[in-house]
Structure 1
Amino acid sequence: MLSRGDLTDDEWAVLEPLLPVSNNRCGRWRDHRQVVNGIIHRLSTGVQWRELPERFGPWKTVHKRHLLWSADGTWEMLLQHVLALADAEGNIDWDINVDSTSVRAHQHAAGAPKPGAAGTAQLFKRGSRKIGSGVDHGESAAPAGGGGAAGEALGRSRGGLTTKIHLAAEGKCRPLSMVITPGQRADCTQFEPVMEKICVPRRGRGRPRRTPASVSADKAYSNRKIRSYLRKRGIRHVIPEKKDHKAARLRRGSRGGRPPGFDKERYKDRNTVERAIGKLKQFRAVATRYDKRGYVYLGTVTAAAVVIWLRS
Structure 2
Amino acid sequence: MPSLRQGSLLHPVLAHTRPNGASSCPFPSSSSACLPSEPIGIGGFSTKVHAVTTTGGKPLHLALTPGQQHESTMAKELLVHAEGNAFISDTGYDADRIRSNARRLGMKPVIHPHPSRKQRPPLGPPLCRMRYRVECFFHDLKRFRAVATRYDKTATCYLAALHVASMLLWLR
Whether the TM-score (by the shorter chain) exceeds 0.5 is: yes
Partner of 2:37: none
| Aligned CA distance change for structure 1 residues 192 and 92 (closer, same or farther; 3 Å) | farther
AA paired with 1:239?
Answer: I
1:227 to 2:115 alignment: no
CA RMSD for the aligned pairs?
Answer: 2.8
Q: CA deviation at 1:156?
A: 4.7
What TM-score do the two structures reach when normalised by structure 1? 0.47
Equivalence map 1:181-192=2 (5 Å): 181-192=65-76
1:244 to 2:121 alignment: no
Mapped contact 1:99–1:167 kept (Cα < 8 A) = yes
- Once residues 244 and 164 of structure 1 are traced to their aligned partners in structure 2, the CA distance between those partners, rounded to angstroms, is 23
AA paired with 2:28?
Answer: G
Gaps of 5+ in 1: 1-79, 111-145, 199-209, 250-258
Partner of 1:147: 28
| Aligned CA distance change for structure 1 residues 279 and 157 (closer, same or farther; 3 Å) | farther
Aligned partner of residue 244 in structure 1, secondary structure: coil
Question: When you count helix as a share of all residues, which structure comes out higher?
Answer: 1
Q: CA deviation at 1:271?
A: 1.0
Q: 1:260 aligns with which of 103, 107, 121?
A: 121
Q: Taking every aligned residue pair, what percent have the same amino acid on both sides?
A: 27
- Once residues 293 and 92 of structure 1 are traced to their aligned partners in structure 2, the CA distance between those partners, rounded to angstroms, is 36
Partner of 1:310: 171
Equivalence map 1:1-312=2 (5 Å): 84=2, 87=4, 91=6, 94-106=11-23, 109-110=24-25, 147-148=28-29, 156=41, 161-196=45-80, 198=81, 211-246=83-118, 260-311=121-172
Q: CA deviation at 1:243?
A: 4.1
AA paired with 2:70?
Answer: A
Runs of 4+ in 1 over 4 A off after TM superposition: 155-158
Aligned partner of residue 245 in structure 1, secondary structure: coil
- Once residues 243 and 286 of structure 1 are traced to their aligned partners in structure 2, the CA distance between those partners, rounded to angstroms, is 31
Gaps of 5+ in 2: 35-39
What TM-score do the two structures reach when normalised by structure 2? 0.80
Q: CA deviation at 1:190?
A: 0.9
- Once residues 211 and 271 of structure 1 are traced to their aligned partners in structure 2, the CA distance between those partners, rounded to angstroms, is 19
